[in-house]
Structure 1
Amino acid sequence: MLDHTGIVVTDLAKARRFYDAIAVPLGLATKTNGPDSFLFGKNAEEPIPYLWIGTLIPSYWVEGSRPGINQMHVAFRAPDEEAVRAFHAAALAACGRDNGPPGPRDGVPNYYGAFVLDPDGNNIEAAFRKG
């Protein structure tokens, strides 16, 4: 079960605009976590799991690591297909780049998703599983 994960970004303000925008259609929120990071998750009553997003260099990075060198993929659950479409539109309006428009995915029954790249090239997905 996921507890948390994190990504390092180059421009915190740009990343915050992007994640604030995609939070709305997914029923999620962002929360400031200090001057160098913020959290992306449900709410104060249900704080875990969360995605940590910040500009600090993690202690576990190997030499030569930098933001965007290892593209990350994170899929967020969407409540329905409309939320997936709203996620995609919000992401594109907030400096995201299309990486797969909303629709069913081959080989995955009852699945509807959309992929976008955040400002640092991380692959962010919204997914709805029917039934």
Structure 2
Amino acid sequence: MLDHVGILVADWAKSKAFYDAAFAPLGVTLLNEVPVEFTGGVKVGGYGRTKPDYWLTESAETGPGRHYAFSANSRADVDAFHAAALSAGGTDNGAPGLRPHYHEHYYGAFVIDPDGNNIEAVCHAPG
């Protein structure tokens, strides 16, 4: 299975502000910023709970349409993620709710990030 994933972002500051806010309800924070002397001047940072699992990299070549789903500990965390992401400038792409067509206890919410990616928080716990 995957250990970590990365996404290219056009505006580091804008995307960092968005993800800082959207991830806070999930207990996810920026854990590592790679010094630019190691990246050729490109801004790179890793988000996670205990280790960097999700890396943002500033790039002129971003591409919309990717889907990233992040685990939440509760349905309330999914709700809080959705509200925080919308407040941080995201666009609603599916309000929090059950999606039994995916799985019996699948509770998720979807937001489009500043670069057009479909970002989701999901909880699989019953009720």
Q: Same fold (TM over 0.5)?
A: yes
> What pairs up with 1:1-131 in 2 under 5 angstroms?
1-31=1-31, 32-35=33-36, 36-43=43-50, 47=51, 50-56=53-59, 66-69=61-64, 71-107=65-101, 108-131=103-126
- Give distance in 2, aligned partners of 1:129 and 1:2: 19
Query: Percent identity among equivalent residues?
Result: 47
**Per-residue deviation, residues 39-91 of structure 1 (Å, max 9, x unmatched):** 11113xxx15x11101147xxxxxxxx3125x211111101110000000000
Structure 2 portions without partners, runs of 5+: 37-42
Structure 1 portions without partners, runs of 5+: 58-65
- Give distance in 1, aligned partners of 2:58 and 2:24: 23
SS at match of 2:49: strand
CA positional deviation for 1:33: 2.5
- Give distance in 2, aligned partners of 1:99 and 1:77: 17
8 Å CA contact 1:23–1:30 kept in 2: the answer is no
RMSD: 1.5
8 Å CA contact 1:91–1:116 kept in 2: the answer is yes
Instruction: Count the aligned residue pairs.
Output: 118
Q: Name 1:60's counterpart in structure 2.
A: none
- Give distance in 2, aligned partners of 1:14 and 1:97: 14
SS at match of 2:89: coil
- Give distance in 1, aligned partners of 2:109 and 2:91: 11
